[in-house]
Structure 1
Amino acid sequence: MEKRWVQAVKSDKEAIDLLAQQLNIDTSLAEILVQRGISSFEDAKDFFRPQLSQLHDPFLMKDMDKAVSRIDAAIAAEERMLVYGDYDVDGTTSVALAYSFFRQFSRHIEYYIPDRHKEGYGISTAGIDYAKSKGITLILALDCGIKSNDKVAYANSLNIDFIICDHHLPGEELPAAVAILDPKRADCPYPFKELAGCGIGFKLAQAWCITHQLPDSSYEQYMDLVMVSIAADIVPIVDENRTLAYFGLIKLNQNPCIGLKALMDSCGKNKNYTITDVVFTLAPRINAAGRMDHGNQAVKMLLCTEDDLAARQSLFINVQNTDRKVSDQHITAEALALINDSEVLMGKKTTVVYNENWNKGVIGIVASRLTEKYYRPTIVLTHSNGLLTGSARSVPGYDLYEALLGCADLLEQFGGHKFAAGLTMKHENIEEFSQRFEDIVTATITEDLLCPEIHIDSEIAFSQIDGKFQRIIAQMAPFGPMNPAPVFMTTNVVCVGRPYVVGTKHLKLSIKQQNSAIFEAIGFGLAEFENLLQPNQPFSVCYTVEENIWKEQKRLQLNIKAIKIHNQ
């Protein structure tokens, strides 16, 4: 699918030149910093050299004092407590963090992950009944619960209190919990609203340590778990998340918890991790436990204190991930067969597909793959517990959650955010839902959102790229939402020698501008250009600048995102 090349709006030239002079860097890099709100030497210092002192006071979060006091009371009275979390990466890392932290102070604590297939997302009646059967009087819910009003009310009727640590948008009415930690609640003054669920648990541990005058290391030891949740949940890597991700990556690469270390070893990469590596290497494996078996398996691995046990558990999860890949590929092929390509030509703006036999655990991945192919809001549905259950994915810039709100009367339950959501409905509603969803999206989406775009930070010449240029880019990491790796554009480029395909669909080539050095480049998924790039024929590229490490050798490499052949 052809992409739109969108260049960033030019920033104030005086500000750029001044920052470039102050930092002694290329003006193109200074321009990118200014575009990202970094316009002074002090801003740049905070950005390039994050400090743990930049973390916000956890007691700025509404109800933090209530949460700490209630846990204090529970520990003093030797009440039984349950740490409850979702089955995805954010949920399982949240549970591992909170359980590991609070079990240092209480012998009467356990954890619970709902069964994706039997209970579904969020707080379940079965989970509350389990708590009651175990004599539990306090549930600490992480990465879920903010809309579980009925479930919290049910727990209260059984004399079970709730503390909710969530980061999703609340509904109009909050649950009747003892404390609700969620920066997105309207009355919460916490200065940063985009923490992951595990980040909320981290702030609770931080508040506990401040209250009890414990050393900072008591909660900082969990930063690798928080970083994994930030990467996997695709939250903005700015402000507090940037600090947590920065130090979390240091911990992952230098001294990870035993469970993560075993997982890194089992997948064949145990050093030099970036956020991207976490997203594509560690996160899918942690997620696979809940998709193919049970999220408890991921928590069990993350809590391991013995190397041998952690190794066995990580190998088990690797097997689950292999099974997930097979299931994912099979269901994706079936889903593609259901979609009539003429629908695209007819201008349909959505995709809704259903098969009662699809594995509930992988339909979210399938929805993502269909969205990538057809580039329109997509919902994949299967059958579960007498209802249709589904995963929805959007395209960048379109608020999927708002579209689902317009279909709320046809849904039994739904939740999520702008770009991803889960939903359930009765079988008889699928046709009316599909049509209304199509109508709402058609009326509210713009044509430009239906075509993928590449955001270009700056147009540069190859002569500007050298080791210093790349090192400064590397210091802008960790990269992610709201702080992506800079994308550059260069025109009048020619191939040196012939490009060739590696694997089945990736393009390897050497390129240069007139009088520039020759750069090695890789274009993932761009094999179609192998025979289109003729000798001495100029073309334009947009790309990121990276350091490629192969057999301990480091060299600059351009990662090409798109190619435009001149006069084409």
Structure 2
Amino acid sequence: MASTKLWINKVPNQDLFHEFVTHGFFPPLLAKILINKGFSDIKSAYSFLYPQLSDFSDPFIIPDMKLAVARIAKAINSKEKIGIYGDSDADGIIGTFVLYDFLKNFTPFVEWLIPSKDIEGYGFHAKFLPYFKAKGITLIITVDVGISAYQTVNSAKALGIDVIITDHHEIITKPETFTITGKLTSPSSPIYYLCGAGVVFALIRALRSYLYSQGFFGNKKPPFLRKYLELIFLATLADMVPLSGENRLITFFGFRDLLNPFFPCTKVLLEKADLKYGLSEEDISYRVIPKLNSAGRLGHPEVVFQLLSSSDISSAEKYLYQIEILNQKRQVIEEETLKSATSQISEISKNSKFLFFILEGIPKGLLGLIANKLKNNYNLPVIVISQENEIAYGSIRSPSKINFLKILSQCKDLLIQFGGHKYALGFKIDKNFIPQLKTRLKELLKYHILDSPSTDLIYIDAEASLSELLYKDILFAFEQFHPYGEGHLPPVILLKNFEIKEIKVLKEKHSKLVLQKKDKELHAIYFNKLLEKKDISLIVGTPFINNFNRNLELKVEDVR
């Protein structure tokens, strides 16, 4: 069986490699991996491998932070009523709960609202301002939403309501109010890529610091913040933001805190996920996060908030049961919708620049999920529109080669509202303008060239012998690498100098290899491939820790 994939060795800078080995005391294999992961100095590499809570950056590097926390402190001291307005995905709901739970330490005058995306669509909507006004709320803090809600903020001001925006989406038109987002810092800053809940964590760190400096706590201990990391970890993984900077710290500590969760909700979520072999990021991504997202996608975000705020196991189990029913419903709708959308694609032309679907009666919260799956299947930008009466809602997912936010901004005259990220965004449109939108996009995308999927290329971070791979310092480093995620993938290793002791066939389609060299053994798994010994002299794969026995194993990507 000849390999059809092209293996490309990444070659680290030799001067930097020498420095990492001689001055950083990294084993050569680990030095190569770290350099090829983008680390250019010893200090940042050590900070990545051995994070400390003290590594969290100063939240006041966000320009409006001091003004924002001073306004919140004033509201607390003056016993003003504070309203929290959150988005309905997992990130937004978790961020809303964390902010609510933290503020309740200081004031009972806190309300929260998470509108149904299925009814309202995404956004900080002015229609809810009278609701806040009627409750006597004088300060609204948004979570994971509002970065471009220029008009809503102005409407709030007209009603005598101040607004603090916390969000992480791309800024189109910054509202004229205190705006807390990593996007107002340098792209190289550690907080630039924070998700919505991550931005909230920066806000509450800053608020606690500000209150402390004002003597607010007296002889009392300030509130404990570490407990929130297990939840913000879930939000960070759910929103698929790059796991660098503070996201690395959040996920490193939050992932490990889940081994002994603080909140009843996380205890129940993990128990019901039936994790037979310990905790892994795959389990979180496929068994936990979809449940948290499903309720919001189907218009019931309040059930997730109630789960998060459960004070005991019994309450948490009750709300999780409701969420699991919604998740099953979401799975059925998603499957039927994907079939319907796929049936509209008779044949993808080689010249197709994007896919455009108009679907009837699809929950708005599922549009992004459907678009993302189709984008992954066809490696093309996908626009999915749900049409309701005169107004339609759309979601776009694009491969990373195309900044679709920039493209859609050239269609803003056709849109009621739009916003999001470069490669994941949404919009609202009058149904009469949909044909014009499709025509405009066709023209704008005419000269964009998309690379074909890079499935035939494997980029190798380092070569290793079996004994090198099983060296104790390397094993410890691989433990430290977890959790993996967006922008932080497992290293790809070219394994050499081994013998094949045994090959087992699993479930008639997978190959389980036992590799050895002298007294060392390593297990490797090649999914959906049946191998023979004669096929194998070199193996490319990604190392992982088997949660059942805590041994290092290899997930095979290709063999020669």
* TM-score, with structure 1 as normaliser: 0.88
Equivalent residue runs for 1:107-126 within 5 Å: 107-126=108-127
Say whether residues 1:53 and 2:54 are aligned partners: yes
- For residue 130 of structure 1, what is the amino acid of its counterpart? Y
* Distance in structure 2 (CA, Å) of the matches to 1:542 and 1:117: 45
Structure 2 equivalent of residue 414 of structure 1: 418
Alignment equivalent of 1:427, drawn from 431, 434, 441? 431
Q: Percent identity?
A: 28
After TM superposition, list the pairs within 5 Å mapping 1:83-232 onto structure 2: 83-171=84-172, 173-177=173-177, 179-185=178-184, 192-213=191-212, 215=221, 218-232=224-238
SS in 2 for 1:111: strand
Q: Which residue of 530, 534, 537 maps to 1:536?
A: 534
**Structure 2 residue 341 is the aligned partner of structure 1 residue 335:** yes
Q: Is the 8 A contact 1:7 1:458 kept in 2?
A: no
User: What per-residue deviation string (whole Å, max 9, x for no partner) do you get for residues 146-179 of structure 1?
Assistant: 10011111112221110111112212x42132x1
Q: What does the per-residue CA deviation read over 1:385-440, in whole Å, with 9 as the maximum and x for residues that have no partner? A: 63221221122333222232233333322211122111222323333323432443
C-alpha change, 1:59 and 1:447, in structure 2 (3 Å) is closer
Give me the whole-angstrom Cα distance separating, in 2, the residues matched to 1:520 and 1:384: 54
The residue that corresponds to 1:507 in the other structure is: 510
Does structure 2 retain, via aligned residues, the 8 Å contact 1:48–1:475?
yes
Any residues of structure 2 matched to 1:234-249 within 5 Å, and which? 234-249=240-255
What amino acid maps onto 1:174 in structure 2? K
Question: SS in structure 2 opposite 1:558?
Answer: strand
Query: d(CA) in 2 for partners of 1:88 and 1:453?
Result: 34
Question: Is structure 2 residue 264 aligned with structure 1 residue 258?
Answer: yes
1:556 aligns with one of 546, 552, 555 = 552
Give the 3 Å change call, closer, same or farther, for CA 384–483 of structure 1 in structure 2: same
**Secondary structure, counterpart of 1:162 in structure 2:** strand
User: What is the letter of the counterpart of residue 537 of structure 1?
Assistant: D
Structure 2 residue 396 is the aligned partner of structure 1 residue 392:
yes
User: Conserved in 1, the CA contact under 8 Å of 2:359 and 2:387?
Assistant: yes
Q: Report the Cα offset of residue 455 of structure 1.
A: 4.0
1:450 positional shift: 7.5
Residue by residue, what CA displacement relative to the aligned partner does 1:484-504 show, whole Å, maximum 9, x if unpaired?
21122347999776664539x
Cα deviation code 1:36-57 (max 9, x no counterpart): 3435543333222211111112
Contact 2:190 2:246 in 1 (8 A): no
Give the paired residue count: 550
CA distance in 2, matches of 1:227, 1:275: 10
Q: Is the 1:84–1:140 contact (alpha carbons within 8 Å) kept by the matching residues of 2? A: yes
Q: Does the C-alpha gap of structure 1 residues 493 and 404 become closer, same or farther in structure 2, counting only changes over 3 Å?
A: farther
Does 481-490 or 2-11 show the bigger shift?
Answer: 2-11
How far is 1:509 from its partner?
2.8
Instruction: Give 1:270 shift.
Output: 8.8
CA distance in 2: counterparts of 1:169 and 1:94, whole angstroms: 18
Give the partner amino acid of 1:324: R
Post-superposition Cα deviations, 1:315-373, rounded to whole Å, max 9, x if no partner, equal 221222122112211211221111122x24x3312111221133322222222221221
Q: Deviations over 1:120-156 (max 9, x none)?
A: 1121133223212322211110111110011111112
User: Among 360, 364, 368, which residue is 2:368 paired with?
Assistant: 364
Shift of 1:262: 1.6
Higher relative CO (CA 8 A, sep ≥ 6), structure 1 or 2? 2
SS of the equivalent of 1:180 reads: strand
User: Would you say 1:288 and 2:291 are equivalent positions?
Assistant: no
Q: 2:356 aligned to 352, 355, 367, which one?
A: 352
Alpha-carbon shift at residue 94 of structure 1 (Å): 0.6
Whole-angstrom CA distance in 2 between matches of 1:452 and 1:331: 30
Q: What is the identity, as a one-letter code, of the residue corresponding to 2:553?
A: Q
Cα distance in 2, alignment partners of residues 6 and 216 from structure 1:
54
Does the CA contact (< 8 Å) of 1:236 and 1:481 recur in 2? yes
Q: Is the 2:62–2:185 Cα contact (8 Å) retained in structure 1? A: no
Distance 1:79 1:250, change over 3 A: same
Distance in 2, matches of 1:354 and 1:458, equals: 46
Return closer, same or farther for 1:158/1:40 CA change in 2, 3 Å cut-off: closer
Label 1:374 to 1:489 Cα distance change in 2 as closer, same or farther (>3 A).
Answer: farther
Does the CA contact (< 8 Å) of 2:99 and 2:200 recur in 1?
A: yes
1:165–1:181: 8 Å Cα contact kept in structure 2? yes
> Which segment drifts farther, 533-542 or 306-315?
533-542
Letter of the structure 1 residue corresponding to residue 325 of structure 2: V
Change (3 A) 1:415 1:450: farther
Out of 534, 545, 548, which is 1:547 matched to? 545
**1:478-529 deviation per Cα after TM superposition (whole angstroms, max 9, x unaligned):** 32233221122347999776664539xx6233265998966433345xx2x3
Gaps of 5+ in 1: none
CA distance in 2: counterparts of 1:392 and 1:559, whole angstroms: 33
Amino acid paired to 1:443: Y
Q: Which amino acid aligns with 1:482?
A: G
Given the superposition, is the C-alpha separation of residues 427 and 31 from structure 1 closer, same or farther in structure 2, using an over 3 Å criterion? same
Query: What is the DSSP-based 3-state SS (H/G/I as helix, E as strand, rest coil) of the residue aligned with 1:137?
Result: strand
Per the TM alignment, residue 451 of structure 1 is displaced from its structure 2 partner at its CA by: 6.4
Superposition deviation, residue 192 in structure 1: 3.1
Q: Which residue of 1 aligns with 2:378?
A: 374
State which drifts further: 358-367 or 451-460.
451-460
Counterpart in the other structure of 1:486 = 491
Contact 1:470 1:545 in 2 (8 A): no
**Aligned partner letter, 2:321:** L
Does residue 437 of structure 1 match 2:438?
Answer: no
Q: Determine the structure 1 residue equivalent to 2:321.
A: 315
AA aligned to 1:310 is A
1:188 and 1:475 map into 2 onto residues whose CA distance is 25
When the two structures are superposed, what TM-score results if normalisation uses the length of structure 2? 0.89
- Structure 1 residues 521 and 400, CA, compared in 2 at 3 Å: closer, same or farther? farther
- Tell me by how many angstroms 1:22 deviates: 4.8
Query: What is aligned with 2:406?
Result: 402
Greater shift after overlay, 207-216 or 128-137?
207-216
| Contact 1:395–1:449 (CA under 8 A) maintained in structure 2 | no
Cα gap change, 1:8/1:141 in structure 2, threshold over 3 Å: closer, same or farther? farther
The answer (yes or no) to whether the contact 2:121–2:364 under 8 Å persists in 1 is: no
Unaligned runs of 5+ in 2: none
- Alpha-carbon shift at residue 71 of structure 1 (Å): 1.5
- SS state of the match for residue 176, structure 1? coil
